[in-house]
Amino acid sequence: MKRLPCHDEPGKFHFSARLLSTREEKGLYYTVLDRTWFYPESGGQPADRGMLNDTPVLDVQIQDDKIVHVTDSPVGHGDDVWGIIDSARRIDHMQQHTGQHLLSALLLRDWRIPTVGFHISEEVTTIDLPRDAFTPREIEHLEEQANALIGEHHPVTSFWIDVEDLHRYKIRKEGKMEKEVRLVNIEGVDLSMCAGTHVDNTSELMLFKITGQEKIRGGQVRLSFLFGHRALRHFQRISLYMEEIRRALSLPEKECPDGVRRLLEEKAFWSREKKKTDSFLIELLSDRMAEENGYAAASLDWGDEAFLCTLGRRLLDKKMKVVALFQPALGFFCLLSDGSHPVQSWGEILLQRFGGKGGGNETLFRIKNCPQDLDPELLLKEMMGR
């Protein structure tokens, strides 16, 4: 566990340093400074981002016990370097990491569930737990418990001890054992080994919200959640979405769930009715369009792509050899064959001629963005003339 300046000063976002070394490898530059407040990726917490002089820092890693800053161009000429850390990203990671400590301690203390995995991503933070999925009521209760702890304003501190003294402390989570280890203490809530950056008080976590859960292998559940500004933005987005839905339905907010359910039921009903109508029309049209010579072509003013293809297949069922169908409003043209006259090569010729998009095989070829004056009967005759 390496001591880092950002451990003692997590709120320091500007610093000066001297360049010790830079190496280039595959278009990337790896820079080491005499000191840095950048946090390197470690223990489930992503690395900081920011600038060294005018050069964006793409990544920060620990290599050979040195903190290496990764950029896509040299940091600059000369020895003096000015570092700027992305403060919003750092604060976000501090909120998520301290929040994870609080949540994991709560789950172990009151639910007897240990945390077996942890990760901070760009969108959410996750922990893996050895249990089945939570019920909606359990989720609600866990959120209430965590938010109550946030509101109790527990101080968050950290300190280093010799690993030989570790047995004197009752810690929730151990980490890599080295000569010195760092303990992060949420007063009255949690004490864990950790090398990450943290807030000074649980009040800085602001808000906690669980956003989802999924079963993962090993009989575990992965819980997704948000703390701090992430949680606030989540509720702001939901509020905007809810207002749009309320206006669209012209309903009070509390009646919107029932309104949406009614819309879905109506959509399902009319979808079933459309299938019935389409089946009737396809049968009627296929009877009228079937020709004794085995070739059928037509332009239709209605129906989507699926309707035309289904009609074409029904015509093949009625002993048609080749079918050419076109929907001018959609600019959609399809060629179907029973296999006696392969349509792929002819379809590719038409695709190039019209400059459209599409593809297919020897029995079905579809083309989009066709000209509206396309004549399927003439194209079919041209095809058969070849």
**CB-count exposure of residue 184 (10 Å: 0-12, 13-18, 19+):** buried
Round to whole Å and give the CA distance between 173 and 103: 13
The stretch 113-117 carries a mean pLDDT of 94
Round to whole Å and give the CA distance between 46 and 32: 19
Nearest to 76 by CA among 29, 144, 130: 29
State residue 318's pLDDT score. Answer: 93
Pairing of the two strands 220-227 and 125-129:
antiparallel
CATH architecture entry for 91-237: 2-Layer Sandwich (3.30)
The stretch 187-213 carries a mean pLDDT of 96
For the chain, the domains span 5-85, 91-237, 278-385
Q: Are 36 and 67 in contact (CB under 8 A)?
A: yes
Round to whole Å and give the CA distance between 15 and 34: 11
Q: What integer best gives the mean pLDDT of the chain?
A: 94
Query: How does pLDDT run across 286-333, given as a tens digit for each residue?
Result: 999 988 889 999 999 989 999 999 999 999 999 999 999 999 999 999
The stretch 242-259 carries a mean pLDDT of 95
Neighbours of 169 (CB within 10 A): 13
pLDDT category at 386 given cuts 50, 70, 90 is low
pTM over 0.85? The answer is: no
State residue 54's pLDDT score. Answer: 92
- Look up residue 256 and give its two tokens: 């919107």
Q: Are 1 and 176 in contact (CB under 8 A)?
A: yes
Round to whole Å and give the CA distance between 123 and 274: 40
Q: Up-side HSE of residue 129: CA atoms within 13 Å toward CB?
A: 23
State residue 383's pLDDT score. Answer: 87
The reply to whether CATH 1.20.1440.230 applies to domain 278-385 is no
Fold of 5-85: Elongation Factor Tu (Ef-tu); domain 3 (2.40.30)
SS3 of 32, please? strand
